[in-house]
């Protein structure tokens, strides 16, 4: 995990730029906790910064006594009625990340950077199950 550059984190995440509301020790502790969540090989601290923002936002929600629930499609005040849309996700990890905007950014970053692979060599046969003439190996 790359070391934390606190000034860069506060620049990338303007909502956490106020050091009085978000002390350096608190933000640093959250950043350190992201190493337990993400096990990726990246020289960039950006995914860890996004996960830090996600955790901070979830903590803010919990401190306010609220529970993050997902997308609200409708709400009414009299006779209390709230409708929630199920997020278009495949698993609990995606749902958890979909609860905040920074979590959604992290999910997008992970999708882009996790899709990978490369071919070894330059022959077209290395990209397929058949040889160029259509013959199986």
pLDDT tens per residue across span 10-43? 999 999 999 999 999 999 999 999 988 888 877 7
- Mean of all residue pLDDT scores within the chain: 80
Q: Residue 10 sits in which domain range?
A: 6-113
- Is 122 a member of any domain? no
- State pTM to two decimals: 0.70
One-letter-per-residue 3-state SS of 69-135 = CCEEEEEECCCCEEEEECCCCCCHHHHHHCCCHHHHHHHHHHHHHHCCCCCCCCCHHHHCCECCCCC
Q: How many domains does the chain have?
A: 1
- Is 119 a member of any domain? no
- Is 118 a member of any domain? no
Q: Is the pLDDT of residue 90 over 80?
A: no
């Amino acid at each position: 995990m790359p070391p934390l550059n606190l000034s860069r984190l506060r620049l990338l995440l303007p909502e956490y730029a106020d050091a009085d509301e978000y002390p350096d020790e608190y933000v640093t502790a959250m950043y350190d906790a992201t190493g337990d969540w993400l096990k990726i090989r990246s020289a960039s601290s950006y995914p860890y910064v996004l996960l830090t923002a996600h955790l901070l936002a979830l903590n803010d929600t919990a401190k306010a006594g609220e529970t993050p629930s997902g997308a609200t499609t409708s709400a009414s005040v009299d006779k209390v009625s709230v409708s929630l849309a199920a997020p278009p996700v495949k698993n609990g990890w995606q749902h958890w990340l979909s609860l905040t905007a920074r979590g959604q950014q992290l999910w997008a970053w992970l999708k882009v950077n996790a899709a990978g692979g490369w071919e070894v060599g330059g022959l077209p046969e290395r990209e397929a199950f058949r040889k160029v003439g259509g013959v199986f190996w």
